[in-house]
Structure 1
Amino acid sequence: MDRTDTHFARAYSCERSVVVPSPTAQAQSSQYLCHCARGPPRFPRILTTDNTFYPESLRAKMTWLYLLLAVAVTSAQEICLSVQEDPYLLFGTKTAYIFANKDIPTTKAHEVPGCQPIAFWLLNRHGSHNPEADEIAELEKLSDLKNNILTNYKNGNFRTTNQRICSSDLSLLENWSWNSRINQTYAGDLTVDGYMTTQQLAQTWKHKFPGLLTANQHNYLFKFVNDKRSSNTFKAFTEGLFGDQAEGLDIPRENDEKFLEPYKFCPAWAKEVGDNTDTLSQRAIFESKMEYKEMISNISLRLGFNYDIQKEIVQRMYQICRYNKAWDVVKISPWCAAFTREDLKRLEYAEDLEMYYKYGYGSPRNQDLGCTLVKDMMTFFEKHAASDEPQQPRVKIQFSEASLLLLTLTALGAHRDSAPLTGDNYHSAPVQARQWSTSTMSPFNANFAGVLYNGLLELEIGKFSFSPEEFSEASLLLLTLTALGAHRDSAPLTGDNYHSAPVQARQWSTSTMSPFNANFAGVLYNGLLELEIGKFSFSPEEFSEASLLLLTLTALGAHRDSAPLTGDNYHSAPVQARQWSTSTMSPFNANFAGVLYKCTQNGNFQVNEQFQVLFLENERPMRLDGCRVGLCDLSLVKNKLGELTKNCNLDFCNGTTRLNINSYTLVFVAISFVVRAVIRI
């Protein structure tokens, strides 16, 4: 089954409503969409740049578009996104949170029998945003491309092809124009959807942990980078927590760029990974494959060109397509009509490969860099577990990029596939079923949360909807997830293994790991340590970019495939079933959370230890070896993460020699912190 949500492809009947408590409800009720077509219309109404709609009568006047169909070969088969009921909606790190995390409970409190939550830690990515400053000039060129495409259709400028854009999609393209409000002044700013989704995530986390996410602002500590996007993410999230009173509250906050963007202050990582051209070699291998070149040829034919357009132009169309779907989950993007389902999967895998080697298991150094967030989470939990009295803050939230989220998940060992993703194994079974998928690991608003319970340790990666406590940019989020070892596939993603089963089923997917509003969180409970990675809606405590999220997951050892992803194994079974998938690991709003529980022994849960940990990735319990449905004994976490957190430091960034540690070492140290705390209690 494709990793898509057929529900959102249909048109909706809607009306203006109040903000709902979860992004999963956006398609049914939206504050900013007050016009929806009833049923799947043949000619959907088009929202223009001034928020007005073209009337149906205007469409009837565009007869030249429809007359063109008369000259088409009668056997031609049209590609028609306007009426497609199950479009592919996983777009790597530009995936909307709602597409990567569907069917998540949003109002039910997360309760563990016999346990009381005592601390919550969250890493959360920001929501959807405008294109970056260096993207705008290139995307504006699409206006000229649009005119050329319309001219091609008007003149019947086609070679033999059975794939053409249908008249309704073509009319959408004809009415499209670049929004002049998207300029250098507002480059990178949160969109309306990104702001609202962040508010809704905060409300949902509050529903999940009402005893921790209270109206007392002194229970919180927020960390974020001092820039406009992160500041607005903080504003949106606190409005979701405290309502209209948020602006007048003195909420504890810190700006810590070195902590949330460690890759910017690490020359060794930049030399070995970030600026190393070899990091992109597997993606290059994949994009050099004949099937990738044939994809570009087919796209060119579909648009009416008698020659192959440049690869950069295809990437430009893909970029605006996925931005459009993140900005407005209901509206159809005319640029998405240029791609078939298989085209979108290949483009998604190409980004998975890049993120796998830049922030995931493809580069050993990523676990070293992603361990810092894991260490911070375990130190935070240790402080609460060691004291019988409530400690402040009880909730710790960070905002950053998807990169940190992926780094953290990698450090955790999450989303690790049995084989690496490569450019050669795309069609392999492991890649097709890969755990490493950025679409699910780091979509917009992706998050990772940890919750400490008094008595029981539960570790899970899953899809819950927590009120994120830590928000980060996608880059920082991916880095953190990579450091955690999360979304680690069995084989690396390369430019050659796109078709391999592991890559197709990869864990490393930025669409799910670091989507807009991706988050990673930890929650400490008195008595039970529960650690989950999943699809909840926490009040994020740490927000990061997809990169840090992927780094953290890598450090955790998550989403690790059995074989690496390469540019040659795309068609292999491991790549096709890969765990490493940025679409699922780091979509927009991707998140990672940890929860520490302190509990009494409970035979129903087979709890043998007082402290348990729960890991949550994009609100869903994280799958970790040795845990019971995501619930892990603290001793197990210590064995896995203890040494890594104990030895975690960034001395290597400046060339200092130190012992190289892996994700399991990180796990050992993290556990040792909690165990020592348990002994004191």
Structure 2
Amino acid sequence: MAGKMLILCLILQYVWSSLGDLQCQERFVHYGHHLGTKSAYRFPLQPPKITEPGLCRDDVALKTWRPRLKETDEKKLSAIGEDEMIQLAQNYRYYFPDLFPGNYSAASYLFRYTATQRTSASARAFAVGLFGRGTSHHVRYPPAVKKDAVLRFYKLCKRWRKQIHDNPDAVEERRKFEAGSEMLYTLTTISKRLNLNFTLSLEDVKLMYVTCAFETALYPREKSPWCAAFSEENLRVMEFAEDLEYYWIDGYGHNITYEQACPAIRDMALRIIPSLIQPGTPPTTVYFTHSGALLKMLSRLGLYKDRGGLTHDRYHSLHSRLWKVSNIDIFGSNLAFVLSRCFDGYYVLTLHQEKIVRLPGCDQDEDLCPLNLFLKLMWDIVSGCNFEKLCSLRDV
């Protein structure tokens, strides 16, 4: 490989740089997303009165548990999130050492993030991973745009926001599942495990689940006492309910949700396809955005699509489903496209979470997709894309 590389990171990162003595020319696109605190700090429950027989000795910490997060921490990059972004940058530099020169140059790199603290901090942490703390202070960042047409296209899609995002009926499948026997059994068994003389509400258990997840992420060397309240089956039930909501709000549930991702797909194509690259485009462009953009892009590309879709009555038949947010939308998620010029032509390699994935429409037995086929797939997505018409309320 010899030549250049493009990377996008969804926090959304584009990067490409000069290659050394590799066998193919590459351009790499990588997406990654932030670690925020969301609603964990709002945990309203008083520690329940529990007795020794219901839980292991180590889990009596529930009696003295107190929230450690502050309201001011909400939607900010955490210390563990910063370390994760540094490590992610170092990983990609390790995978492609000749693609990430250690010396920063504004002519070679462009970093871009959204108008949020967490993406700004993620970009700076990623730069530390690439260049070291000293050099990273010299990285230039363009002013962030609050409603970025590429990084946060869904913020500009009025129809999606009205019909899906702000519409309670859009998550009807989750509500139906939460009213079913699997969730009722979950609430009952968790309450019994905590030795309570009443059944916890769904909202209480949701907050316990969120707190378990975020404390596990934020304090990886510690065991969150709230996790002890859940059996593996309980966690699977809670996860399915969450997956249902993401599926119907950010995934395949409604056509407009993923169809609106075409501006991000178009932007990627303009930066990775040789014949479309504009003169003067920096060799390395790095974007940082949010999971809402990443999930819609994954869906627009046809990845992680379960036959028959996700509905409230498919819990038992979808234990091995593809659409599992705990796998496809983890903290520090990243999606990458690598363009390689080999002896017989151009090929595109796609990676998600630093692992190779094969795009629907490409040969499912080959890791590399011929550029002409990849171009056709992308053209099918962007050629009929009229974002303004798709997202306009006038055409409803």
> 2:326 matched to which residue of 1?
439
Please state how far the C-alpha of 1:252 moved relative to its aligned partner: 4.3
- Higher relative contact order, structure no. (Cα contacts within 8 Å, ≥ 6 residues apart): 2
For residues 656 and 113 of structure 1, the distance between their equivalents in structure 2, rounded to whole angstroms, comes to 52
> 1:284 matched to which residue of 2?
175
For residues 167 and 351 of structure 2, the distance between their equivalents in structure 1, rounded to whole angstroms, comes to 32
Compared CA separation, residues 186 and 291, structure 1 to 2 (3 A): closer
Alignment partner of 1:621 out of 356, 370, 377: 356
Are 1:302 and 1:338, in contact at CA under 8 Å, matched by a contact in 2? yes
Which structure: greater strand fraction? 1
For residues 111 and 624 of structure 1, the distance between their equivalents in structure 2, rounded to whole angstroms, comes to 28
**Map of 1:506-517 to 2, 5 A cutoff?**
none
The superposition leaves residues 77-130 of structure 1 with CA deviations (integer Å, 9 ceiling, x where unpaired) of xxxxxxxxxxxxxxxxxxxxxxxxxxxxxxxxx99973122x22222101x333
Please state how far the C-alpha of 1:210 moved relative to its aligned partner: 2.4
For residues 350 and 112 of structure 1, the distance between their equivalents in structure 2, rounded to whole angstroms, comes to 49
Please state how far the C-alpha of 1:294 moved relative to its aligned partner: 1.4
Matched, 1:268 2:3: no
Q: One-letter code of the match for 1:216?
A: Y
**Map of 1:660-671 to 2, 5 A cutoff?**
none
The superposition leaves residues 242-275 of structure 1 with CA deviations (integer Å, 9 ceiling, x where unpaired) of 1122343142435233232222221111122111
Compared CA separation, residues 621 and 294, structure 1 to 2 (3 A): same
Are 1:120 and 1:396, in contact at CA under 8 Å, matched by a contact in 2? no
For residues 412 and 208 of structure 1, the distance between their equivalents in structure 2, rounded to whole angstroms, comes to 24
> 2:265 matched to which residue of 1?
374
Matched, 1:637 2:374: yes
> 1:338 matched to which residue of 2?
229
Are 1:280 and 1:357, in contact at CA under 8 Å, matched by a contact in 2? yes
Matched, 1:654 2:392: yes
Are 1:375 and 1:648, in contact at CA under 8 Å, matched by a contact in 2? no
Please state how far the C-alpha of 1:165 moved relative to its aligned partner: 1.1
The superposition leaves residues 377-426 of structure 1 with CA deviations (integer Å, 9 ceiling, x where unpaired) of 001123x4467x98531222211111110000001111111221110011
Give the alignment's TM-score, normalised by structure 2. Answer: 0.87
Are 2:158 and 2:391, in contact at CA under 8 Å, matched by a contact in 1? yes
**Map of 1:481-630 to 2, 5 A cutoff?**
593-601=336-344, 610-625=345-360, 626-627=362-363, 628-630=365-367
> 1:296 matched to which residue of 2?
187
For residues 250 and 299 of structure 1, the distance between their equivalents in structure 2, rounded to whole angstroms, comes to 50
Alignment partner of 1:423 out of 309, 312, 331: 312
Which structure: greater helix fraction? 2
For residues 262 and 186 of structure 1, the distance between their equivalents in structure 2, rounded to whole angstroms, comes to 26
The superposition leaves residues 50-94 of structure 1 with CA deviations (integer Å, 9 ceiling, x where unpaired) of xxxxxxxxxxxxxxxxxxxxxxxxxxxxxxxxxxxxxxxxxxxxx
Matched, 1:197 2:106: no
Compared CA separation, residues 437 and 112, structure 1 to 2 (3 A): farther
> 2:290 matched to which residue of 1?
401
Task: Name the SS for the 1:612 alignment partner.
Answer: strand
Please state how far the C-alpha of 1:287 moved relative to its aligned partner: 0.8
Alignment partner of 1:178 out of 39, 56, 67: 67
The superposition leaves residues 580-614 of structure 1 with CA deviations (integer Å, 9 ceiling, x where unpaired) of xxxxxxxxxxxxx111111112xxxxxxxx11111
Task: Name the SS for the 1:432 alignment partner.
Answer: coil
Matched, 1:209 2:96: yes
Please state how far the C-alpha of 1:656 moved relative to its aligned partner: 6.1
**Map of 1:1-150 to 2, 5 A cutoff?**
114-117=23-26, 119-126=27-34, 128-132=35-39, 136=41, 138-139=42-43, 141-142=44-45, 144=46, 146=47, 148-150=48-50
Alignment partner of 1:167 out of 53, 57, 60: 57
Are 1:225 and 1:400, in contact at CA under 8 Å, matched by a contact in 2? yes
Compared CA separation, residues 386 and 168, structure 1 to 2 (3 A): closer
Gaps of 5+ in 1: 1-109, 155-162, 449-592, 602-609, 659-681
Q: One-letter code of the match for 2:350?
A: F
Are 1:169 and 1:334, in contact at CA under 8 Å, matched by a contact in 2? yes
Compared CA separation, residues 349 and 640, structure 1 to 2 (3 A): same
The superposition leaves residues 178-226 of structure 1 with CA deviations (integer Å, 9 ceiling, x where unpaired) of 22xx223332222211111111111111122222222233211122112
* Number of residues of Structure 1 aligned to a counterpart in Structure 2: 371
Compared CA separation, residues 243 and 321, structure 1 to 2 (3 A): same
Please state how far the C-alpha of 1:175 moved relative to its aligned partner: 4.1
Are 1:120 and 1:394, in contact at CA under 8 Å, matched by a contact in 2? no
> 1:224 matched to which residue of 2?
113
Query: What RMSD in Å do the two structures reach over aligned CA positions?
Result: 2.4
Please state how far the C-alpha of 1:347 moved relative to its aligned partner: 0.5
For residues 265 and 245 of structure 1, the distance between their equivalents in structure 2, rounded to whole angstroms, comes to 37
> 1:512 matched to which residue of 2?
none
The superposition leaves residues 657-677 of structure 1 with CA deviations (integer Å, 9 ceiling, x where unpaired) of 59xxxxxxxxxxxxxxxxxxx
Q: One-letter code of the match for 1:619?
A: E
**Map of 1:286-325 to 2, 5 A cutoff?**
286-325=177-216
645-654 or 399-408, which moves further after superposition? 645-654
Give the alignment's TM-score, normalised by structure 1. Answer: 0.52
